[in-house]
Every structure is written in structure tokens, then in C-alpha cells.
Amino acid sequence: MEGTFEEVNEFSNLYGANATLGLLWTPSRHLSLGVTVDLPWTAKAEQEKTVKNEITTFDSTRTRILDITETVTKENKDVEFNFPFYWAVGMVWRWSHKFYTSLDVSQTRWSDFSFKAEGEERINPLDSSLYQENPLDDT
């Protein structure tokens, strides 16, 4: 036997709200300082999962097809994505009107990023492993 498996996930009615806050301060004509934060937020959506299986059965010599079986299943669920906290701080030094130097540092808490479908456990959205088994690294 040989087979193929295909899973297609379509999301609709995605909604959510988040806040991005920032502050910019210019203490002198040469220096500007800034900070920003993106607060964590949850996006909710509807998911339609379509799974297609095709199994081909051959005779013992594998030269003749005896049967081809195809199945298609569809499932609809409510889902949510949890997006992480992000922060950044930065500065700009103006040497002249044509030459600037900038520096910034930021962090995204990817370890808090997750996906959950109704009736299922929370997973890592990048590799579908269980959320707590394979946490993402913060960057």
C-alpha cells in the first residue's frame, strides 16, 4: 500500500485587539531616546480543517493497482492565537544634518506565543508540538 495525506487549515473571522505604546524624548539637539512596547494579546478565529487521505493498494508484484480509497473529512473549530509581549529601547545621535548613529535593543517573548483549538491542548504554532514540550526561545 501507498498513501498520501494532506491537511489544509483555513482561518476566517480573525479578530483581536492590542495596544502599542511608545515614547520619544529629545533631551538635546544631538540626542533622541525612544521606547516602545507591544502588549500581549489574543486573536480569536474560526478554523476549518480539511484532511484528505488517499490509499493505493497493489497486488503482490506491485505492478497492478487493486484499489484506490480516498477519504475527505472537514472539521470546524473556534481557535485562539496568543501573541507575545515585545519591548524596545533605542537612541539616535546626530553628528550632523547628514550623519546619524542609531542603536536599539529589543526583546520578543516568543516563549509566550501559542495556538489553541477548541477541545485540544495548547500547541507551539511553528512546529505543532505541545506548547510546554518544545517552548520557543525569546529573542
pLDDT digits (tens, 9 = 90+) for 106-129: 999 999 999 999 999 999 988 889
> What gap in Å lies between CA 135 and CA 129, rounded to an integer?
9
Q: How confident is the model at residue 9 (pLDDT cuts 50, 70, 90)?
A: very high
Task: Give the pLDDT score at 35.
Answer: 98
What percentage of the chain's residues is helix, strand, coil (to nearest 5)?
0, 65, 35
The per-residue pLDDT for range 70-120, each reduced to its tens digit, is 999 999 999 999 999 999 999 999 999 999 999 999 999 999 999 999 999
Continuous H helices in 10-130: none
- Size of the chain, expressed as the number of residues it contains: 139
Q: Please state the φ and ψ torsions of residue 78, each to the nearest 5 degrees.
A: -80, 140
Domain ranges of the chain: 2-117
Is the CB of residue 68 less than 8 Å from the CB of residue 55? yes
Whether pLDDT at 66 is above 90: no
Tell the residue number behind the cell numbers 495556538, with chain if given. 115
Write the Ramachandran bin of 62: left for phi over 0, alpha for psi from -120 to 50, otherwise beta.
left
Nearest to 85 by CA among 64, 61, 101, 109: 109
Pairing of the two strands 41-58 and 2-15: antiparallel
Report the amino acid identity of residue 36.
Answer: T
